[in-house]
Amino acid sequence: MRVLVLNGPNLGRLGRRQPEIYGTTTHAELAALCVGWGEPLGLAVDVRQTNHEGVLLDWLNEAADEATPVVLNAAAWTHYSYALLDACAQLSAPLVEVHISDPTQRPEVFRHTSVVTAHAAEVVAGHGIDGYRLALESLARLTRP
């Protein structure tokens, strides 16, 4: 089964961006890991990253049209984008929300809100890059016939 792993703003700089919070794995390495984790689960994983909100909305609309399961780390948009909320609300296949850090445990109060969670089958947060493996395992379980 084909699944999308969608990463939002600033995640393209993984490995260099605040490594004390987000670790040293680059986005290219993360993408390769996700493809590898998907294989034994029977998932063909397509990993994408954008800094442009409309692009993410287009990808979510594509997932809605094609009933494609999604792993989503919407990064900062998670906390305030109602357009993102609406895009997630229309999905019919399962959506798993993932965060590298655990936003609910961070000091900035704005991170404690997620517009995605209400439409997510599961949330994986605070497990670092390995959270994407856990999220893919969740998707595999949730989409099993």
Instruction: Tell whether 111 is in a known binding site.
Output: yes
C-alpha dist (Å) from residue 143 to 37, 44, 49, 73, 96: 16, 13, 23, 19, 11
- Annotated binding residue at 79? yes
| Footprint on this chain of ligand DQA (rule: CB under 6 A) | 10, 73, 75-76, 78, 99-101, 103, 111
Cβ proximity to ligand DQA, 27 vs 111, nearer residue: 111
Q: At what angle do helices 53-66 and 82-89 cross, to 10 degrees?
A: 10
Verify whether residue 119 is a known catalytic residue.
no
The whole-angstrom separation of Cα 31 and Cα 6 is: 10
Q: Rounded distance, CA 135 to CA 20, Å? A: 22
Residue whose entry in the numeric block shows the structure tokens 């019919």: 92
Q: How far is the CB of 7 from ligand DQA (least distance, A)?
A: 8
Q: Which is nearer to ligand DQA, 3 or 74 (CB)?
A: 74
Nearer to ligand DQA, 1 or 23 (CB): 23
Q: Give min distance, CB of 79 to ligand DQA, in A.
A: 6
Instruction: Tell me whether residue 21 is annotated as binding.
Output: no
Which tokens in the block code for residue 30?
Answer: 């993360």
Kindly list the catalytic residues. 22, 99
Q: Which residues are annotated as a binding site?
A: 73, 79, 86, 100-101, 111
